[in-house]
Amino acid sequence: MRRTISLAALLAVTGAVSAGANSDLQSLIDDPNQWVIQTGDYANQRYSKLDQINKENVGDLQVAWTFSTGVLRGHEGSPLVIGDVMYVHTPFPNTVYALDLNDNGRIIWKYEPQQDANVIPVMCCDTVNRGVAYADGKIFLHQADTTVVALNAEDGSVVWSVKNGDPSKGETNTATVMPVKDKVLVGISGGEFGVRGSVTAYNISDGSMAWRAYSMGPDEEMLVDPEKTTVLGKPIGKDSSLSTWEGDQWQIGGGTTWGWYSYDPELNLVYYGTGNPSTWNPAQRPGDNRWSMTIMARDPDTGMAKWFYQMTPHDEWDYDGVNEMILTDQEVDGQMRKLLTHPDRNGFAYTLDRETGELLVAKKYDPAVNWATEVVMDPDSDQYGRPQVVAEFSTEQNGEDVNSTGICPAALGTKDQQPSAYSPKTETFYIPTNHVCMDYEPFRVSYTAGQPYVGATLAMYPAPDSHGGMGNFIAWDNIKGEIKWSIPEQFSVWSGALATAGDVVFYGTLEGYLKAVDAETGDELYRFKTPSGIIGNVMTYTHDDKQYVAVLSGVGGWAGIGLAAGLTNPNDGLGAVGGYASLSDYTALGGQLTVFKLPD
C-alpha cells in the first residue's frame, strides 16, 4: 500500500502528552517504513522487518541521492524518517535539517544552535553527536553544551530548551536521548573531566525536570532503595556506593552516561550503562568504585532503581560500560526468558535476565582479550559476577605507576558505543568490534574543575598473533557465548550495524565502505565506497513503496580523532592517533549522507 501519510497528519495524531501519546509513539516505532528513534526500537535491536532489499538482490544497490551536512568532523548516529520527512543531524555545532522526501530532499527547515566554541576542547574523543529523537510532534536534540532542545517537527521552532549540565566543569554531551512515555531521558558526558554521572528525565510537555539519578553517591541521590534494589539477586544495602570510594572522591567519580538506552514497556524498566570511574589512575581511587561500569535497570516514571550489575569493579583500563543493552525474548534451558545482552568494552559479552538482573552468560567475544581469565558464574562464590584479573595486565602494580604492556583490549574496548544489531530470524547478534591492544602508564593527577582528569598515557596497536587488522565484524550467539563467524577488517568497525528481514546485515568501515553481508554466513554481498570513513549507524525506511538504506559518512570519533582534529602526536587522542595513523592513507574528512536503493 502506498504510504501517503504526511508530517502534518502525524502531528495531529501525536499532539497530546499522555499515556496515549506514548502508545502513538510506539505505533510509529512499530512501523518498519519509518525510523523514529536512533535505536530503531525500544529493544535496541536495530532490526528492520523490511525485506524488499534482500540477500538475492542487495548486490544491485545503487546510490539514490546524497546530502552534504556542511560539517567536517566525526558523524555518528543516523537520520530519522517520520512520515515523508527525514531529519539529519551533524556533529558540533549540532545543526539539524528537515528534508522533504517528496521534493528531492528539499530543506524544509534548518536549526543552527548558537553554542560557545569553548565546549569543543572539553569534549573527549571528537565532537560527535549520536542523533535526534522524535515524540509528540517534537524533535529532541541534546547539544554538545548540554542544552536539551525540543523543536517543533513541522517548522523547527524551539518549543522549549533546558540546560542539563555545565561545560565549565567538563560536563558535555555526545549522546542521543530516549523518549519514554511522557518523559525524555538524557545522560551526560565528561568522565575524563571528573564529572559525576547521572541520568535525568525531563517532561516532554514543557521540559521541566521529573527526576535525576546519579551513578554514585548517597542512596537518595542515586534513587536507590537499599532493601528493594538488588545486585545479583541480593538487596543492595544502605549507601552501597559510598563505602567503595575513598573519602569524597565519588563526587568527581565519573560513571557518565553517554551511551544507549533501552526500554521494556511490559516491565516498565529502562536499561543503560555507566562509564569509567575518574581518574584513569586506579591507585588514586581504591575500592570497587560503585556504581561506575554498571548496568542499571530503573523505573522511567520515578527513576527508582530495580537492579544493578557492575561488570568491571575498580576499573583500571577505561572499559566504560555504556554500550547498548539489547532486549530479546529467547529460550534458555527450555524456558522462555526476558533477556538483556550487552557486549561490553571490557571484551566480555553479558546475557542477563532483564527482569531480575540474574547473570546467565559472560564470555569473551574476542579471543585476544587477556586482562581477565573469566567471570565467576558460581552464585555461592564470594567472587560471583567478578572478572578474574590477570596481574600482569593490571595497571596498578604494587602501588606504583608503571607501564603495563600488551593489554587486550585497548581502552576503546573490544567495542565502543558503535551499536550492534540482532535478527530474531537468525537469533544472532551482529557486533562491530575493535581488535586492538595497548600499553598503559598511569601517573598522578590532581582535580581542577573543567580540566582533564585522566592520569594515564596510552599507546594502541593491532592485537598480536591474528590477522594484522584492527577490527572484526562478528556474529554472536548470546546463549552459548560463542562466535558464529567473524569478518576481519583492516581498521576497527566503528559503524553501527543494521539487520533486516531480507537476511542482510549492513555495516560501515573506517575507510568508508558500506558493506552488506549474508545474515547466516557472513558472506559479503555488496560494498560501496562513500566519500569519507563511516562511523555512523546504518538505517532503512520506505518512501513511495521503495525501500532505502541510508548512512552518514564523516570519519572521526575516538578511532578517527587524529584525522578529525588534525592531531599527529601518537599519544594524542588518548593513544588513538598513533594506533590509527595509517587511516589517513584511505580516507579524508567529510560530512555526507548517502542513500541507497534498488534500480527502478
| Residue spans per domain, the chain | 7-597
Phi, psi angles (nearest 5°) of residue 468: 85, -10
Distance CA 352, CA 128 (A): 30
User: For position 11, what pLDDT does the model report?
Assistant: 45
User: For position 16, what pLDDT does the model report?
Assistant: 39
pTM: 0.95
User: For position 465, what pLDDT does the model report?
Assistant: 86
Task: Find where cell 559518512 sits.
Answer: 553
Check: CB of residue 471 under 8 Å from CB of residue 492. yes
pLDDT in tens, 455-480: 999 999 999 988 989 999 999 999 99
Task: Find where cell 574523543 sits.
Answer: 125
The CATH label, of 1.10.4030.10, 2.140.10.10, 2.120.10.30, 2.40.50.140, for the domain at 7-597 is 2.140.10.10
Burial of 5 (0-12, 13-18, 19+ CB in 10 A): middle
DSSP 501-563: TTSEEEEE-TTSEEEEEETTT--EEEEEE-SS---SB-EEEEETTEEEEEEEE---TTTTHHH
Q: Say whether 145 is catalytic.
A: no
Per DSSP, 467 falls in state -
Check: CB of residue 277 under 8 Å from CB of residue 218. no
Indicate the helix (H) or strand (E) that contains 342. strand 335-343
User: For position 24, what pLDDT does the model report?
Assistant: 87
Cβ atoms within 10 Å, residue 28: 20
Q: Where are the alpha helices (DSSP H) in 116-251?
A: 219-222
Cβ atoms within 10 Å, residue 179: 24
Per DSSP, 495 falls in state S
pLDDT in tens, the chain (600 residues): 334 344 444 444 444 333 444 778 999 999 999 999 999 999 999 999 999 999 999 999 999 999 999 999 999 999 999 999 999 999 999 999 999 999 989 999 999 999 999 999 999 889 999 999 999 999 999 999 999 999 999 999 999 999 999 999 999 999 999 999 999 999 999 999 999 999 999 999 999 999 999 999 999 999 999 999 999 999 999 999 999 999 999 999 999 999 999 999 999 999 999 999 999 999 999 999 999 999 999 999 999 999 999 999 999 999 999 999 999 999 999 999 999 999 999 999 999 999 999 999 999 999 999 999 999 999 999 999 999 999 999 998 766 778 999 999 999 999 999 999 999 999 999 999 999 999 999 999 999 999 999 999 999 999 998 898 999 999 999 999 999 999 999 999 999 999 999 999 999 999 999 999 999 999 999 999 999 999 999 999 999 999 999 999 999 988 888 888 888 888 888 888 988 999 999 999 999 999 999 999
Cβ atoms within 10 Å, residue 392: 12
Grid cell digits, residue 560: 578517527
| Active-site position among 41, 219, 315, 318 | 318
Grid cell digits, residue 475: 556474529
User: For position 73, what pLDDT does the model report?
Assistant: 94
Check: CB of residue 74 under 8 Å from CB of residue 170. no
